[in-house]
Amino acid sequence: MGTEFTLHLYASSQNAAYCTARDAFEEVHRIERLLSHYRPDSELSRISREAFDHEVTTDPETFGFLESAFGWSELSGGAFDITVGRLMKAWGFFGDSGRVPTEQEISSLRGQMGWRYVRLNPDRRTVRFLAPGIELDPGGIGKGYAVDRMVRVLEDEAVTAALISAGSSTLYAVAAPPGEPGWKVHVPAPGRPEQILSTVYLRDTSLSTASYTEKRFSVGERIYGSIMSPETLAPVESVAQVTAVAPTATDSDALSNVLFVLSGPARTALLESLLEVSALVMTAGEGTALPEATRWPAPIVTEEGSLSLRIEGD
Amino acid sequence: MNRRSLLQGLSLSVLSATLGAGSGYGQAEEVQAAKEQSSSLAGRFRIGVIGPGSRGRELIRQMLRVPGVEVAAVADVYEPRFLQVNELVGKTVPSYKDYRSMLERRDIDAVVIASPPFFHARQVIDSLQSGRPVYGEKTMGFSAEDNYKVVETVAKSGQIYQVGHQLRYAGWFQESVRRIHEGEIGEPTHVFAYWFRRDNWRRSVPDPSLEHLMNWRLYRESSGGLLEELGSHQIDIANWIFGEQPRTVVGASSIVLYHDGRTVGDNVQAILGYSKGRRLVFTSLTDNAFMGNQLWVYGTKGSMQLTVEDATFYGPIHPTTTAAYHSDVVQRGLKTGATYNYAADDEMPYRGPGRRIDARNQEDPTLTACRSFVHCVRTHTQPVADVRVGFGSAMACTVGKEAVLQGEMKKVPEWRAFAV
């Protein structure tokens, strides 16, 4: 997945910690083999190669992952979409260093990709593409799914407290360190990792951050991030960073990307409908990033000082 | 493609799957044909699974990617596996602590066996004798007697038996071995196989009473150690390349790092002898993962590197050559300059580029192996990784594990066919 996974855990002995950590990382490798679009032998790559030519039967886990991903597509009206493999390649976000595609390249992709061109049949557990240009890219949800699977391994091995991090952008906290209210997590300001925007305590929940700094390239003064607008088929430039807290890492990962793409009113409407999540959105203003918080559980400190927030539901 | 030509096409690999040179590499068209035919024949195919541990569950996952496959029942002596299976399959699967009770069910079309190797032969034999085809994980048997009994039962039962040597189904392995057999690296004389890990090879044990059950790989009475668990795959590939099973094994093993009560080595080296002096040199470490899992095939005209993800060809490394005629050099424009004597650096390893072997079939070889098994059962054709393939590696491991413990050379018992 091109991401560094780290795990902090409490265990009865060093050997027990070693065995548990190894089992958890083996699960990450398994998910890598399942979902990586960089590996031709992954199940996701097989589906990308074959599902336009014929209906592809897949296993329940992969099918469930696809249902979850396309569920987010439906919920967000297409703001979240894993059919963007070719679009990401056109922008040079597939093992390359980034490039601006031509208008012709972009227009050729229209009508050839999009979540609406995918048919999932739960009775037969099959996947079928209705457009020829679809390549599945698990970015935006795969990391979260891998974290959730690690959590499952830790639960099976009765780990009492742990913090999992996937590239520092998707975290899951299992319980809390002894005597602590939760695992302490700093949310940095967008593009300024030394400045702490907010500090939250996580306990049996997940936090993900989507940022324009995560994967990007620049041409002159202009910075191009890797989170794409399904309307323009170009990087979103109106948002600098989104941090979302949700019960599972799959959901916090997907939600952070969804909120990054949606416009302000649509973002607000979605968050109002999802009562179990909280979010901190930093929009890209004129030279500064402006905070929009929904049910955010901690103070936010911007360059101008502490902001007093009304937390919805209080 | 009509049905007859389809079967003939498939038969190139599935019907002539002896260990003889030139066999066993399915072409991309055949793989595609098998996929299409699997879909068109996708009636229910209900499997019973013995031993749904980590490998068993991976086989279930892959089997469920084949159209029509359902999991009818599972059997395991360790009951927590059943919940893991239910989660994987997405429904409650009937479960049994005794696999023989599972075999009494009437709704099982084939049996998949992924228990520890010392159970394999008994379970394979019982499954075959229950009238079911078997996909059995390697190694086929744990003793010489086991191996012969499985061969005999396969012959007498007339059932399909496929062994879990899935690398035979990897597109890049098939293409590479085809090229080796066509002479691309000249005469293959040596295979150097590495399987390095940085891992104590120990599984988490929820209760000390389960140590031998969970960590069966670490104890001689239940495991052939690294040679059997890891080396059997590479022995199988060497058998394929050389077109025969090894005749002798000599080796050594020791415990360097993990003095934790295990009775098999945490490293092993084995040399397996084939006809005409050809050799497989296998080495496995568990304290250094530098080499990973790879084979190098050395031939008289080149080398081939095979890994679990790709294959690369390297041409011959030439010593210094002298132009046949000085005039030829002059005519080509060489007038003067310092001479670079390549021969002086002959002792240095080659560090230049290789040429990647392209394979059209890029899917996970275990999936291809599972699909092929289902296809063979549905069409009553013999699998690529058949009982003789299984015998070749299993028998080498059977005597090899003794050879590395005793440090003695052992003869590998020969294949013996049984009349039906």
With respect to residue B319, please indicate whether it lies within any of the assigned structural domains: yes
Assess whether pLDDT exceeds 60 at residue B36.
no
> Structural domain of residue B114, as residue ranges?
12-169+364-411
Judgement on whether residues B124 and B182 belong to the same structural domain of the protein? no
Identify whether B417 is part of a domain.
Answer: no
Q: Enter the tokens of residue B4.
A: 């007859």
The whole-angstrom distance between B206's CA and the closest CA on chain A is: 8
Q: What average pLDDT is seen over chain B?
A: 87
Instruction: Verify that B330 and B236 share a domain, yes or no.
Output: yes
For residue A185, which amino acid is it? V
Which pLDDT score, from 0 to 100, does residue A302 have? 79
Q: Is residue B295 part of a domain?
A: yes
In a domain, B1, yes or no: no
Query: Are B331 and B373 contained in the same domain?
Result: no
Please say if the pLDDT value at position B190 is more than 70.
yes
pLDDT at B336: 46
* pLDDT value at B222 more than 90: yes
Distance (Å, whole) CA A110 – CA A228: 14
**What is the mean predicted confidence (pLDDT) over B340-356?**
72
Note the pLDDT of residue B404: 96
- A-chain residues near B36 (CB < 8 A): 54
Tokens 């092993």, residue?
B268
- Judge whether residue B154 has pLDDT over 50: yes
Taking residues B316-334, report their average pLDDT.
Answer: 52
pLDDT confidence of residue B37: 55
- Amino acid at residue number A92: G
B309 close to A (CB below 8 A): yes
**What's the confidence (pLDDT) of residue B373?**
98
User: Once rounded to an integer, what is the mean pLDDT over residues B303-317?
Assistant: 93
Query: Does the pLDDT at position B13 exceed 90?
Result: no
Q: Where is the domain boundary, B315, B331, B356?
A: B356
Beta carbons of B364 and A157 less than 8 Å apart: no
- Residue B40 within any structural domain of the chain: yes
CATH number of the domain residue B136 falls in: 3.40.50.720
Residues B68 and B131 in one domain: yes
pLDDT for the residue numbered B341 = 46
Q: Is residue B351 part of a domain?
A: yes
Which residues of chain B lie closer than 8 angstroms to A60, CB-CB?
A: 64, 88-90
pLDDT of residue A144: 97
Q: For the domain that residue B314 is a member of, what is the CATH number?
A: 3.30.360.10
**pTM for this structure?**
0.87
Per the CB < 8 A criterion, the answer to whether B142 and B393 are in contact is no
Query: Looking at residue B215, what is its pLDDT?
Result: 95
Interchain pair B39, A16: CB under 8 A? no
Given a cut of 90, is residue B308 above it in pLDDT? yes
Give B 165-204 residues with CB within 8 A of chain A: 199-200, 202-204
Tell me what percent of the residues of chain B surpass a pLDDT of 90.
76
**Are residue B97 and residue B221 in the same domain, yes or no?**
no
Copy the structure tokens of residue B393: 């590696």
| Number of compact structural domains in chain B | 2
Residues 6+ apart with CB under 8 A from B270: B227, B231, B249, B250, B251, B280, B281, B282, B283, B400, B403, B404
Q: Is position B89 within any domain?
A: yes
Residue B18 has pLDDT above 90, yes or no: no
- The pLDDT of residue B41 is 57
User: Which pair of tokens denotes residue A261?
Assistant: 């793409």
Q: Say what the pLDDT of residue B205 is.
A: 85
Find chain B residues with C-beta within 8 A of A21's C-beta.
none
Does one domain contain both B276 and B378?
A: no
Same domain, B252 and B330: yes
Rounded CA-CA distance B227/A54 in Å is: 41
Say whether both B185 and B310 belong to one domain.
yes
Cα–Cα distance measured from residue A1 to residue A18, given in angstroms and rounded to the nearest whole number: 22
Give me Rg for the CA atoms of chain B: 23
Q: Averaged over B340-349, what is the pLDDT? A: 59
Kindly report the nearest CA distance between residue B60 and chain A, in angstroms: 9
- Same domain, yes or no, for B19 and B92? yes
Domains of chain A plus CATH, in order, are 181-308 (3.10.520.10)
Beta strands in B212-292 (DSSP E): 248-254, 267-273, 279-285
Clarify whether residues B211 and B251 are in a common domain: yes
Prediction ipTM score = 0.86
Which residue, of B332, B356, B380, is where some domain finishes?
B356
Nearest chain B Cα distance for residue A95, angstroms: 18
- Whether residue B219 sits in one domain with residue B296: yes
Identify whether B420 is part of a domain: no
- Indicate if the pLDDT at residue B329 is higher than 80: no
Name the DSSP class of B217.
G
Both B320 and B342 in one domain: the answer is yes
CA distance B99 to B83: 17
Mean pLDDT by runs of 10 across the 314 residues of chain A is 89 90 95 94 96 97 98 95 90 82 89 93 97 92 97 94 94 96 94 90 97 80 84 88 97 96 93 96 78 93 54 31
Shortest Cα–Cα distance, B165 to chain A (Å): 17
Domain termination residue (choose one: B312, B327, B356): B356
Kindly state the average pLDDT of the residues B276-281: 98
